[in-house]
């Protein structure tokens, strides 16, 4: 029998006490450095900000160990601003944040009074020139409602207390602090959120207390770049005292994360309001308020098909939901990849969006959608008849997030990827797709005159975290399926450029290299499908006997492998660029470690596909209950182990409650 996972107890878990009263001594940035040391402003102390500070601390420790005090002293002088009272970004839970903020409520109220006197607005208000596309949070308070009352406004997105990872832990392990070093025991493939946060916090403080460089409870109200002075001006307000200040820096790293605030489809919200829907309306960011009393025995509708839809659907079943419905405007997404749900309690309505409310205010009308190739948006199909989903207690929008960038000057804000950044582009006249797993089916497909130009792994205005137009501005966020590794590698790249280890390429060179990486994606069916209309319009395999329609077949595994390895190849190139201590090979060719890492995502995907509705364990099995065989650390070789019982029965700590035992 395989050994089972026993989570760390409170005594074993690393204890990090973030700010509040004791943080006062850490509110001022470091005064080390020389006259020639570059000054760097890091915006945000989530994983990206923490990893950059850790990369810097690691370099300093190495120089000091080598006795090179001069080089250690000449390192960049960094100040990090964090709006909340503790590090971790979205990995903190809403419960954690509520506990921490209670301690400073009175001081916060005093601060708001001072701040409004000076500016006539609160520190979280957007600047007047903010992009309306990203200012969705302003509509939350007036739109989300419960029985006619205003729902709690979405604040800074945090994970809910009971969240677990939806990707294997092996893709989140750090080379310089392994799971074995931290937990000192074998672990299952998936972990509770809180244990990953503890692991991250312990790792980033191994070399020094990086949080001495962080000004917590500090809201950045404006960040701009003065071309004549070659300096960044960053204005902040202290959330506790109301003191406003402006400092200048040589470099600026935006590390606020792509999940800055909820993206809320106001049109759908308005439909529910106008129809006088009687149930609750929330965003997945508010899952902390979505407890058992709001879920048990009830029918719930989720809108969206991302990983958050999958997460909250499983969590709702765990809390006792009677039935979960998922409306998705297309036919792709994480929720679509799940071939079976526990107890068959989830029903998907693909290619639909809410279009109305039943007369009694308890049901939702869903109408079919179509893709408009001219506007590149989903629209209602006027010829379709609405589907009625009756007796809905709550509608929860799993519609993703948008980054907090309203405080950035327009020139610094524009490189951040959005649909509006789409730039149609052309393939070379003599381009031909390389042979791939679907070549025999499609043959040679003539590409469209122009590609859509979406921003996926490659951005139009960013090259390896550098702003192409202003390389002194950097954007540290994830682009691949492995966010923590992506951010850690990105932190090393940013540090390499800040310290001058790597020469910043010319603008033309950055664009050329980006184009090469984008062009390579066109040889992969999954990516070309999203860029080339001609390829997307082709008849994909429909024969049920074709390997493409058997997601457990060897052919489909190879199809997944081609797609997954492209992202790993990008990380491999970034590792080499940033002198990262781990190598996956190169963008052109992965080494054995890179190939092993790519296989992890293939196995993750298969865990969802291999679920069976008619299996003996279908009442409780989820992708997290996968066979741990094949999952092992790429650093220590230690394999994953099985849970102590079904994931549906585990509590927030990963334990089986005594009442069940």
Position 430 scores a pLDDT of 94
Position 132 scores a pLDDT of 28
The DSSP letter of residue 170 is G
Q: Count the Cβ atoms, other than its own, within 10 Å of residue 213.
A: 23
- For 390-410, the pLDDT digits (tens) are 999 999 999 888 888 999 999
Asked if residue 381 lies in contact with residue 367, where contact means CB atoms within 8 angstroms, the answer is: yes
Asked if residue 442 lies in contact with residue 538, where contact means CB atoms within 8 angstroms, the answer is: yes
Would the pLDDT of 257 be above 70?
yes
Which comes out higher in pLDDT, residue 422 or 302?
Answer: 302
Section 322-333 average pLDDT: 93
Section 84-99 average pLDDT: 76
Position 599 scores a pLDDT of 94
Section 108-121 average pLDDT: 36
CB contact burial 513-548 (16+ within 10 A = b; e otherwise):
bbeebbebbbbbbebbbebbeebbeeeeeeeeeebb
Task: Pick the range with the lowest mean pLDDT from 117-126, 412-421, 624-633.
Answer: 117-126
Would the pLDDT of 26 be above 60?
no
Q: List the end-to-end C-alpha distance of the chain, in Å, as a whole number.
A: 19
Section 183-194 average pLDDT: 95
Position 655 scores a pLDDT of 87
Q: Count the Cβ atoms, other than its own, within 10 Å of residue 443.
A: 8
Would the pLDDT of 93 be above 70?
yes
Which comes out higher in pLDDT, residue 422 or 473?
Answer: 473
Would the pLDDT of 632 be above 70?
yes
The DSSP letter of residue 481 is S
Look up residue 215 and give its two tokens. 């000004």
Q: Which of 253, 184, 272 is nearest to 490 (CA)?
A: 253
- As to burial, measured by CB atoms within 10 angstroms (0-12 exposed, 13-18 middle, 19+ buried), residue 185 is middle
pLDDT band at 205; cut points 50, 70, 90: very high
Would the pLDDT of 473 be above 90?
yes
Task: Pick the range with the lowest mean pLDDT from 105-109, 218-222, 371-375.
Answer: 105-109
The count of residues in the chain is: 661
pLDDT band at 13; cut points 50, 70, 90: very low
Pairing type for strands 299-303 and 401-402 reads unpaired
- For 30-48, the pLDDT digits (tens) are 446 788 899 999 999 999 9
CATH topology of domain 264-399: FAD/NAD(P)-binding domain (3.50.50)
Query: Any idea which residue has 């791939």 for tokens?
Result: 436
- For 124-137, the pLDDT digits (tens) are 333 333 332 222 22
Would the pLDDT of 225 be above 80?
yes
Which comes out higher in pLDDT, residue 156 or 228?
Answer: 228
- For 583-593, the pLDDT digits (tens) are 999 999 999 99
Instruction: Return d(Cα 643, Cα 178) in angstroms, integer.
Output: 20
Taking the model in full, what pTM does it have? Answer: 0.87
What is residue 330's three-state secondary structure? Answer: coil
Instruction: Return d(Cα 297, Cα 199) in angstroms, integer.
Output: 36
pLDDT band at 653; cut points 50, 70, 90: confident
Look up residue 219 and give its two tokens. 């809201």
Position 178 scores a pLDDT of 98
Mean pLDDT of the chain: 85
pLDDT band at 218; cut points 50, 70, 90: very high
What is residue 45's three-state secondary structure? Answer: coil
Percent with pLDDT over 70 in the chain: 84
Position 660 scores a pLDDT of 52
Section 604-630 average pLDDT: 92
Position 157 scores a pLDDT of 60
State residue 257 phi and psi, 5-degree precision: 85, 150
Would the pLDDT of 420 be above 80?
no
Percent with pLDDT over 90 in the chain: 68
Position 25 scores a pLDDT of 34
């Amino acid at each position: 029998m395989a050994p089972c996972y026993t989570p760390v107890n409170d005594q074993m878990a690393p204890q990090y006490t973030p700010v509040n009263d004791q943080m006062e001594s850490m509110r001022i940035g470091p005064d080390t450095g020389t006259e020639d040391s570059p000054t760097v402003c890091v915006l945000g102390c989530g994983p990206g900000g923490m990893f950059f500070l850790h990369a810097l601390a690691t370099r300093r420790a190495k120089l000091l160990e080598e006795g090179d005090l001069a080089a250690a002293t000449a390192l960049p002088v960094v100040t990090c601003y964090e709006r909340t009272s503790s590090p971790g970004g979205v990995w903190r839970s809403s419960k954690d944040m509520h506990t921490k903020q209670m301690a400073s409520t009175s001081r916060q109220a005093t601060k708001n009074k001072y701040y409004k006197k000076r500016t006539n607005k609160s520190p979280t208000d957007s600047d007047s020139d903010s992009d309306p596309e990203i200012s969705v949070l302003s509509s939350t308070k007036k739109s989300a409602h419960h029985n006619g009352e205003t729902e709690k406004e979405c604040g800074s997105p945090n994970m809910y207390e009971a969240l677990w990872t939806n990707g294997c832990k092996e893709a989140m392990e750090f080379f310089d602090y392994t799971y074995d070093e931290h937990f000192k025991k074998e672990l299952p493939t998936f972990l509770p959120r809180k244990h990953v946060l503890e692991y991250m916090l312990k790792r980033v403080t191994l070399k020094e207390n990086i949080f001495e460089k962080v000004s917590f409870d500090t809201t950045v109200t404006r960040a701009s770049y003065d071309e004549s002075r070659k300096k960044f001006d960053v204005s902040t307000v202290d959330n506790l005292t109301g003191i406003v200040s402006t400092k200048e820096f040589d470099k600026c790293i935006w590390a606020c994360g792509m999940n800055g605030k909820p993206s809320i489809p106001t049109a759908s919200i308005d439909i529910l309001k106008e129809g006088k829907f009687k149930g609750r309306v929330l965003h997945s960011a508010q899952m902390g308020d979505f407890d058992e009393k709001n879920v048990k025995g009830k029918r719930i509708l989720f809108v969206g098909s991302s990983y958050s839809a999958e997460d909250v659907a499983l969590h709702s079943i765990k809390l006792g939901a009677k039935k979960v419905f998922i409306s998705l405007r297309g036919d792709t997404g994480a929720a679509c990849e799940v071939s079976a749900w526990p107890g068959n309690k989830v029903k998907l309505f693909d290619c639909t969006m809410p279009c109305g409310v039943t007369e009694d205010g308890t049901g939702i009308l869903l109408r079919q959608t179509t893709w408009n190739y001219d506007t590149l948006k989903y629209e209602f199909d006027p010829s379709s008849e609405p589907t009625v989903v009756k007796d809905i207690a709550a509608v929860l929008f799993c519609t993703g997030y948008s980054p907090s960038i309203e405080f950035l000057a327009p020139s610094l804000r524009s490189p951040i990827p959005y649909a509006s950044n789409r730039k149609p582009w052309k393939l070379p006249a003599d381009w031909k797709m390389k042979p791939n797993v679907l070549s025999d089916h499609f043959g040679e497909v003539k590409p469209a005159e122009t590609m859509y130009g979406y921003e996926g792994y490659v951005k139009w205005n960013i090259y390896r975290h550098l702003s192409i137009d202003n390389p002194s501005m950097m954007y540290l966020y994830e682009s691949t399926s492995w966010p923590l590794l992506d951010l850690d590698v990105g932190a090393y790249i940013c540090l390499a450029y800040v310290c001058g280890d790597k020469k910043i390429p010319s603008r033309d060179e950055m664009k050329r290299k980006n184009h090469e990486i984008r062009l390579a994606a066109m040889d992969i069916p999954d990516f070309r499908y999203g860029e080339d209309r001609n390829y997307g319009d082709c008849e994909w395999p429909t024969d049920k006997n074709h390997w493409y329609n058997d997601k457990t077949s060897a052919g489909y595994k190879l199809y997944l492998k081609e797609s997954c390895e492209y992202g790993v190849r990008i990380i491999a190139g970034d590792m080499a660029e940033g002198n990262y201590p781990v190598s996956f090979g190169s963008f052109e060719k992965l080494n054995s470690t890179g190939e092993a890492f790519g296989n992890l995502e293939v196995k993750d995907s298969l865990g969802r596909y291999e679920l069976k509705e008619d299996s003996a364990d279908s009442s409780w099995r989820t992708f997290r209950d996968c066979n741990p065989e094949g999952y092992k650390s790429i650093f220590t070789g230690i394999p994953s182990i099985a849970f102590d019982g079904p994931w549906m029965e585990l509590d927030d700590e990963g334990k089986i409650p005594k009442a069940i035992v």
